[in-house]
Amino acid sequence: MNSIPPGKQSKLFIDSTTHVIQLATFASLALALMITDYHSNLLQQMRSVASLIVYPIHAISDVSVSSISYVIDFFSSRKQLIEKNNLLQTSLLTNQIELLQLESLKAENTRLLAMMDSVGNAKQKFILSNLKNVSLDPYNHRILLDKGSSDGIFVGQALLDDKGVMGQITDTTPISAFAMLISDSSHAIPVMLNRTGLRTIAFGTGSMRELVLPNIPPTADIQSGDLLVSSGLGDRFPPGFPVAVILRTEYTPGDRFATSFAEPSAALDRGRQVLLIWPQTQHTPNTLETPSEP
């Protein structure tokens, strides 16, 4: 058992009213901070300053992780091989992102919806970023990235991996950015059923494995296995990227809407690299002109 150092006994009676006063002061300060942070953007700047101050802590955490993985790499293969492998993986990722749009394009062609050919005909601009951290809080699906506003990252920017849409940026500092995943319960993304073109909205559930689509018309043609792609409505997410795959649809007769559940396509809880995509630069929709094809 621990012994009490002799010096401590003299201060046997610490004034407990001071503690109550301190508790009241700091607790109300914390409450006030939370309310301000929740309701307004007043703390936005303070938040980015705070993020800058704590950046070294993130850096240390990152170094400790990467040094461990480096040691593992070192013993498994030679350094050049690792570098080459990394390079190849980067190019694979960038290539795959361009391929992602193929499926949605195919479906569109079969439906002869030439009017929506804004998808995929322009080259997207994107940047590769490393995941620095996931949220401390498992019920709060947020991740920290190692690119910030100095790299041109902006709030609302879409986040992808090689399999689909991951989320969007919610907070930036010059050197880092926070992103919210599509599975966060406060997140919603406009989607389109790739097979039929049905437009709806997919909400996060707080589970990494499930999104919910609460307002599907009961008569809609929707099957498990159907692919949901981003519809591009709302100008947040680029259109045509896979978002999720329908798992099941539940409908209680008498209800106004059926509810579908879908599994996110992106590997939300795996991988260390993500792509940040820029919206196509002022792509003027020439869709109103009649197509001159035969």
Partner 1 sequence: MKTSRFPTSIFVLSVLISVIVSILPQPLDWNFAQPYWTALVLIYWHIEAPENVGIGSAFFIGIGLDAVSGNLLGEHALGLVVMAFIALKFHRRLRFFPMWQQALAVAAILFNDRVLSYWIRGLSGQTMPDIWFWTTPLFGLAVWPWLFMLLDRIRHQRR
Binding string, 122-161, against partner 1, x = CB under 8 A?
---------xxxxxxxxxxxx-x-----------------
Determine the angle formed by the axes of helices 44-53 and 55-76, rounding to 10 degrees. 50
CB of 190 to partner 1, least distance (A): 21
Report residue 89 CA to chain centroid gap. 21
Q: 225 and 246 in contact (C-beta within 8 Å)?
A: yes
In 118-187, where do the E strands start and end?
125-134, 142-145, 158-160, 165-172, 177-181
Q: Which residues contact 113 (CB under 8 A, 6 or more apart)?
A: 197
| Cβ distance to partner 1 smaller for residue 26 or 154 | 26
Answer for which of 86, 90, 95, 186 binds partner 1 (CB under 8 A) is: 186
**Helix or strand run (H / E) with residue 23:** helix 16-39
Cα separation of 190 and 228, whole Å?
A: 10
CB of 93 to partner 1, least distance (A): 19
Binding string, 6-45, against partner 1, x = CB under 8 A?
-xx-xxx-x-x--xx-xx--xx-xxxxxx-xxx----x--
DSSP one-letter code for 66: H
Q: 211 and 261 in contact (C-beta within 8 Å)?
A: yes
Interacting positions 238-257 with partner 1 (CB under 8 A): none
| Cβ distance to partner 1 smaller for residue 134 or 220 | 134
The reply on whether position 72 binds partner 1 by CB under 8 A is no
| Cβ distance to partner 1 smaller for residue 13 or 75 | 13
Size of the site for partner 1 (CB under 8 A): 60
Answer for which of 15, 41, 53, 288 binds partner 1 (CB under 8 A) is: 53
Q: Is 186 exposed, middle or buried (0-12, 13-18, 19+ CB in 10 A)?
A: exposed
CB of 60 to partner 1, least distance (A): 6
Answer for which of 5, 253, 254, 294 binds partner 1 (CB under 8 A) is: 5
In 157-282, where do the E strands start and end?
158-160, 165-172, 177-181, 188-193, 199-204, 211-216, 227-230, 242-250, 258-264, 273-278
For partner 1, the binding residues (CB under 8 A) are 1-2, 4-5, 7-8, 10-12, 14, 16, 19-20, 22-23, 26-27, 29-34, 36-38, 43, 46-47, 50-51, 53-54, 57-58, 60-61, 64-65, 131-142, 144, 171, 178, 184-186, 206, 208, 269
